[in-house]
Structure 1
Amino acid sequence: MPDLYPPVEPRRSGMLEVGDGQLVHWEESGNPDGKPVVFLHGGPGGRIAPAQRRHFDPDAYRIVLFDQRGCGRSTPGVHEPGVDLSTNTTWHLVADMERLREHLGIDRWQLFGGSWGATLALAYAQRHPDRVTDIVLRGVFTSSEAELDWLYRGGAASIHPDAWHAFLAPIPKAAREDPLAAYRALIDDPDPDVRARAALAWSGWEAALCELVPTEGLAEQYADPRFAVPFTRVALHYFGNRSWLSDDQLIAEAGKLAGIPGVIVQGRYDLVCPPVTAWRLHQAWPDSELVMLPVAGHAVGERGVLAALTAATDRFRPAPR
């Protein structure tokens, strides 16, 4: 990946108690005296990965990654039967970020997030603007009703009717009016085969929308039950509760970001997070710059996305001492 910095290994890592019986896995890499940045993974229900460290100059940045509650190496994992999700909400994650910041002795940090990670970055920044130096977002998602309608109530079906047909397949015909509600019932079914089939169909729908030109690597990741089951369960838990946000809240309250510079990188043909949301956020956030990529969808590895993100983190990189 030539548009990323070379691979870098964590200097240290740990498990942070955040309450409610939850342990959040975190890691640090790069320069311990560098500018702090926190990477917010997507999903909800995703996990951190080594390539995510490579968006940042390791000589200039103190790079913090963490697995959100129940995800990746955080415990208890949402893939475990019977795990309660009642204390896994947007605002619990925001509070976890504050605990992590304090635990690491960081005063202010850059936020970097794509897709669901952008939602979490905006929620955190609007609640704790004094703790944010700058923000880099990709493929903006704000968990609004219009975005959920587009994704899960037939909007994107006009672009991918075949994938939409496969998405609806696990749902009884009488329950297809509200696929979100139907999938929540399926993912909580006592039969593990029903849960697995639903998770793979849900995950496959997102995979179909992610790339302009599908690649085997992404499709294989989304077809792996070890990824699909927790990814689907957490996503349905969040979207079924509108992510504990009032409709359009993150756009309506974008004025709270005044004085915080930011870069929004958006694919023109992003079918998961259509560009209208990034455009509306840019209009409401006075200190943002919108980078609209002419030939890109939602996936981070698509044409021009990595280069634009690296350019953004370089722009906010501190000058050499």
Structure 2
Amino acid sequence: MSEELLFPEIEPFNSGFLQVSPIHKIYYEESGNPSGLPVVMVHGGPGDCSSPKHRRRFDPEKCRIILFDQRGAGQSLPSACLEENTTDHLVADMEKLRQHLAVDRWLVVGSSWGSTLSLVYAQAHPAAVLGMVLNGIFLGYRVNTDWIHGPSGAARIFPEHYDDYINWLPEDERSDPFDAYTKRIHGADKELAMEAAQRMLTYEGQIMAMEATTISKNEERAEAEAMMDAAEKQAAQAGFAQFAYSHCLLETHYAQADFFLKERQILDAVDVLKNIPITLIHGRYDLICPIKNAYKLNFFMPHSRLVVVSNAGHGTGEMLAEVMAEIDKMVALFT
């Protein structure tokens, strides 16, 4: 992510946990202008989390910036809990959060899986949504999981990374690596599960961005590690291992259930969104969520506007200028 493009660092003026079920409570925070335009940021994954850098995509003088962590993710509790954790639950949580914060209507901004959840939320609660800015469009199809983890998708672009990914598995399980990794991540052997999760997340990271971006990030990581002592390196590795485990546990929980969506659920209900201004932003060379997702959604939703970023993959950092510009335009419509 290009630091110079972001707004200055800010701290929340309000944060806490909202009890959304007898089991789950979700972390949320507010920053920026308490009287500003309410904007909610929906993170990706499933299994990723909100970040202090997410606050900095929005003008803090104009926006009341709302971040939250989805069930089981980030600071939400209990961590990595799969019980009562489906897309419908997450949609209900967003609506409970809106009501808890006394927000009438809000601008919804989502990335990757966050775009999926944002669309499903808006279809369930269109009257609560002012507008939407979505990037890295994902429609929840199993074909996308197959594209990432199978031999006929991203593997053809990064065969060396794919070979590393599948060669850890026994030969007789390499034809369906997603299923093989999922069984291990959800298995009783926690050490094996954590290793499998780290390998899955590493592979996804290797195909996430343009190659130049990946090389640059690897160099930055190597420089940072060179300045660490042994204890700091151990702590960093433990942190990554735990994040990878919780992330991939949630990701595979959703993916093996087709993200708890009916086939074509989003496309079949686009008419509900016809009065909501929507901007779609997508990297031309996205190997996690191929651009066909965004193109298809724009085709079925012609009132939306599609912005294609020519030299970008899946990561928001490579299209940050476009994302922030489109957020500013959408904010200007309502302020």
State TM-score, norm by structure 1.
0.93
Gaps of 5+ in 2: 226-235
| 1:175 to 2:173 alignment | yes
Determine if contact 1:170/1:197 at 8 Å carries over to the other structure. Answer: no
Greater share of helix:
2
Corresponding position of 1:109: 106
**2:326 equivalent to 1:315:** no
Q: Distance in 1 between matches of 2:317 and 2:73?
A: 22
Which residue of structure 2 lines up, in the alignment, with residue 11 of structure 1?
A: 13
Aligned residue among 65, 68, 71 for 1:66: 68
CA distance in 1, matches of 2:92, 2:295: 28
The DSSP-based 3-state class of the residue aligned with 1:190 is coil
Would you say the 8 A contact 1:148–1:239 is kept in 2?
A: yes
Q: Residue 21 of structure 1 aligns with which residue? A: 23
- Pick one of 233, 254, 267 that aligns with 2:249: 233
- Aligned-residue offset at 1:318: 4.1
Q: Which residue in the other structure is 2:320 paired with?
A: 306
- Residue 316 of structure 2: SS of its match in structure 1? coil
| Gapped regions of structure 1 (runs ≥ 5) | none
Instruction: Say if 2:96 is the partner of 1:99.
Output: yes
- 1: CA distance between counterparts of 2:157 and 2:240? 25
Call closer, same or farther: CA 1:57–1:195 in 2, change over 3 Å.
same
- Cα 1:101–1:272 shift into 2, 3 Å: same
Q: In structure 2, which of residues 86, 91, 97 is the aligned counterpart of residue 89 of structure 1?
A: 86
Tell me what 2:291 maps to: 275
What SS does the corresponding residue of 1:37 show, helix, strand or coil? Answer: strand
Structure-2-length-normalised TM-score? 0.89
Matches within 5 A, 1:189-200: 189-200=187-198
Moved over 3 A (4+): 217-223, 318-321
Q: 2:126 corresponds to which residue?
A: 129
Question: Percent identity, aligned pairs only?
Answer: 40
Q: In structure 2, what residue type is equivalent to 1:71?
A: A
Partner of 1:258: 274
Q: Where does residue 186 of structure 2 map in the other structure?
A: 188
Shift of 1:94: 0.3
SS at match of 1:210: coil
- Letter aligned with residue 158 of structure 1: R
Closer/same/farther in 2, CA of residues 218 and 273 from structure 1, 3 Å limit: farther
2:57 maps to which residue? 55
Quote the residue 2:41 is aligned against: 39
1:162-186 deviation line (CA, Å, top 9, x unaligned) = 1111221333222233323222210
